[in-house]
């Protein structure tokens, strides 16, 4: 460990900070996540510097020494300052003794000592500090034995967890997030304090909560965090729709699968294949409407008819409440949820060219993501069935490729435009245009005509004649 710290401390930036701190006569420390990450060998470019004294003055002095005076950003209200140096974001803050107002996350800030500052931090592994002053340059200050928790893989609060969490309830989500990201466990006392204090999440803004949830979703094994949220009772508060998926109903001895655990397995399987946050959200939401559409049908068993359509409709409400983006990212998730049954339906029957063309038409450029989601959606315990499905998906992928190259369906542009139809028949905008355009599109997707202007034009004339429309110049003769 000493070697790792030494290597870091040889970096020029820390020497400059040390010099500035000495000149101001202020003790200064590297603290928090950066120290944790050095020891874990995780790359990090966010550095927190804590000083017993004025953080803003220290930042300005460092900025001056680095020749970057203009680039120091000061947050007067918080008593903090930031500067960017090369690829590093460095934040300066004065040591604090903090007490929080009961109903808000806004702290009442008071100056404090190093010890005050360390004990008000969230976890022992985030409270380790390295001193930067003169003789003490490189001293490792770890009053809560964070280094041991790091070695054992344990998330634990420095103080009584009831105090740490009631100071800042977001830390309950952070505990679960770190456990998930780092593959650590949460110690029993800390875990039961999360359960006890869960209702304090109500004062945390959805934006902050989502930041943590998204980090859980982006971890290598996101199910771990979601299961911890379920076990501690955070899940129904943060994400009630997902909580509702848990459990199994049984009628006349027929049970359906537990959609909560199925969803988590799909999410974990997808996490092996893709880092795309929104594709991972699609995995979380693909069956979200199963509880709402669940019916027991005599002679058939449990059904979830239309859960993909209902699920797609639920997405905007969930995204809005969770303060997730309501732009094309949400539309992508909706599309994935709506289409997630299509590839599997396709391989269960014969993989016809026209079915593949229609899938390509509906999915467009998102077809590869959709296939990846559907492959992750196979969670059967029957290995033979899994193998067969994956093999069939390979056939679909191959066919998709062939048809995409041949027919250019992916970004389908109608070979005959609405304007051309209006001009040809001398008609104003109206439903006839839609009828003709649809007939052309269907004929192309069904393979009755090729995707080119000549064949589409001929079909346009035939279709128009059926509904009593003739080209203007022919009518004139
Ligand atoms: N911290 C805290 N309580 C919080 C947030 C942060 O005590 N609710 C402290 C911790 O000491 C943490 C440091 O502030 O290490 C920096 O916080 P942040 O940048 O949010 O997290 P990191 O620990 O650096 O981890 P990551 O970058 O993965 O978020």
* pLDDT tens-digit series, residues 120-129: 999 999 999 9
Mean pLDDT of 452-456: 94
Number of domain units in the chain: 3
Residue with the smallest CA separation from ligand 1 atom 21 is 33
Helices 328-339 and 307-322: crossing angle in degrees, nearest 10, is 150
Question: Which has the minimum average pLDDT: 87-101, 127-141, 376-390, 449-463?
Answer: 87-101
Based on the fold, state whether residues 141 and 206 are members of the same structural domain.
no
Domain end marker among 178, 213, 238 = 238
The DSSP element (H or E) to which 51 belongs, if any, is strand 46-51
Based on the fold, state whether residues 12 and 126 are members of the same structural domain.
yes
Give the whole-angstrom CA distance, residue 431 versus residue 460: 14
Q: What is the pLDDT of residues 238-279, one digit of tens each?
A: 999 999 999 999 999 999 999 999 999 999 999 999 999 999
- In a domain, residue 366? The reply is no
pTM value? 0.90
Residue with the smallest CA separation from ligand 1 atom 18 is 33
SS3 192: helix
Give the whole-angstrom CA distance, residue 337 versus residue 383: 25
Determine the distance separating the centroid of ligand 1 and the alpha carbon of 33, expressed in angstroms: 6
pLDDT at 312: 98
**Best substitution site from 36, 96, 100, 122 to test ligand 1's pocket, by max atoms within 8 Å of Cβ?**
122
Which atom of ligand 1 has the smallest separation from the CA of 121?
Answer: 7
Based on the fold, state whether residues 87 and 223 are members of the same structural domain.
no
- Alpha helix ranges (H) inside 107-187: 114-119, 146-152, 161-167, 170-182
- In a domain, residue 67? The reply is yes
- In a domain, residue 172? The reply is yes
- In a domain, residue 370? The reply is no
Q: What is the pLDDT of residues 207-222, one digit of tens each?
A: 999 999 999 999 999 9
Which atom of ligand 1 has the smallest separation from the CA of 181?
Answer: 28
Which atom of ligand 1 has the smallest separation from the CA of 171?
Answer: 8
Is residue 215 within 6 Å of ligand 1 at its C-beta?
Answer: no
Determine the distance separating the centroid of ligand 1 and the alpha carbon of 228, expressed in angstroms: 20
Give the whole-angstrom CA distance, residue 460 versus residue 437: 8
Which atom of ligand 1 has the smallest separation from the CA of 34?
Answer: 24
Based on the fold, state whether residues 94 and 210 are members of the same structural domain.
no
Between 349 and 457, the higher pLDDT residue? 457
Q: What's the domain range around 197?
A: 153-238
Is residue 32 within 6 Å of ligand 1 at its C-beta?
Answer: yes
Determine the distance separating the centroid of ligand 1 and the alpha carbon of 66, expressed in angstroms: 26
Q: What is the pLDDT of residues 406-453, one digit of tens each?
A: 877 887 888 999 999 999 999 999 999 999 999 999 999 988 999 899
Domain end marker among 126, 149, 172 = 149
- In a domain, residue 282? The reply is no
Q: Where are the beta strands (DSSP E) in 245-316?
A: 250-251, 254-255, 295-297, 301-303
Determine the distance separating the centroid of ligand 1 and the alpha carbon of 153, expressed in angstroms: 17
Percent of the chain scoring above 70 in pLDDT: 96
pLDDT at 103: 57
């Amino acid at each position: 460990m000493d070697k790792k710290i030494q290597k870091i401390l040889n970096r020029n930036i820390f020497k400059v900070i040390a010099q500035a701190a000495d000149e101001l006569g202020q003790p200064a420390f590297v603290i928090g996540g950066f120290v944790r990450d050095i020891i874990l060998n995780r790359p990090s470019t966010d550095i927190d510097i804590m000083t017993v004294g004025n953080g803003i003055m220290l930042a300005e002095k460092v900025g001056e020494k680095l020749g970057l005076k203009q680039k120091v950003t000061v947050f007067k209200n918080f008593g903090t300052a930031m500067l960017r140096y090369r690829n590093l974001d460095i934040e300066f803050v004065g040591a604090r003794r903090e007490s929080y107002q009961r109903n808000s996350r806004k702290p009442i800030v008071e100056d404090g000592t190093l010890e005050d500052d360390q004990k008000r931090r969230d976890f022992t592994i985030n409270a380790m500090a390295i001193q930067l002053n003169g003789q003490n340059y490189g001293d490792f200050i770890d009053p809560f034995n964070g280094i041991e928790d790091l070695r054992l893989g344990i998330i634990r609060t420095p103080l009584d967890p009831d105090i740490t969490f009631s100071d800042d309830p977001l830390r309950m989500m952070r505990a679960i997030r770190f456990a998930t990201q780092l593959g650590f466990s949460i110690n029993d006392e800390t875990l039961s304090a999360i359960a006890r204090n869960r209702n304090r999440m109500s004062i945390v803004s959805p934006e902050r909560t989502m930041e943590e949830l998204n980090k859980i979703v982006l971890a290598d094994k996101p199910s771990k965090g979601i299961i911890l949220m379920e076990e501690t009772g955070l899940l129904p508060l943060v994400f009630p729709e997902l909580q509702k998926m848990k459990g199994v109903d049984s009628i006349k001895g027929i049970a359906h699968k537990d959609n909560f655990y199925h969803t988590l397995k799909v999410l974990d399987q997808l996490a092996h294949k893709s880092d795309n946050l929104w594709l991972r959200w699609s995995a979380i939401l693909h069956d979200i409407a199963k509880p709402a559409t669940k019916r027991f049908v005599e002679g058939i068993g449990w059904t979830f008819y239309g859960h993909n359509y209902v699920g797609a409709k639920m997405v905007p409400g969930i995204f809005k409440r969770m303060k997730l983006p309501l732009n094309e990212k949400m539309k992508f998730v909706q599309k994935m949820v709506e289409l997630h049954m299509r590839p599997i339906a396709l391989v269960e029957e014969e993989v016809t060219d026209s079915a593949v063309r229609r899938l390509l038409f509906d999915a467009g450029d998102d077809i590869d993501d959709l296939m990846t989601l559907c492959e992750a959606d196979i969670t059967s315990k029957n290995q033979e069935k899994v193998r067969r499905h994956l093999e069939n998906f390979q056939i679909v992928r191959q066919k998709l490729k062939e048809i995409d190259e041949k027919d250019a369906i992916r970004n389908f542009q109608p070979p005959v435009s609405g304007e051309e139809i209006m001009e040809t028949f001398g008609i104003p905008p109206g439903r006839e245009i839609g009828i003709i355009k649809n007939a052309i599109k269907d004929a192309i997707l069904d393979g009755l005509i090729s995707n080119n202007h000549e064949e589409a034009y001929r079909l346009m004339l035939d279709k128009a004649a059926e509904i009593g429309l003739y080209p203007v110049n022919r009518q004139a003769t």
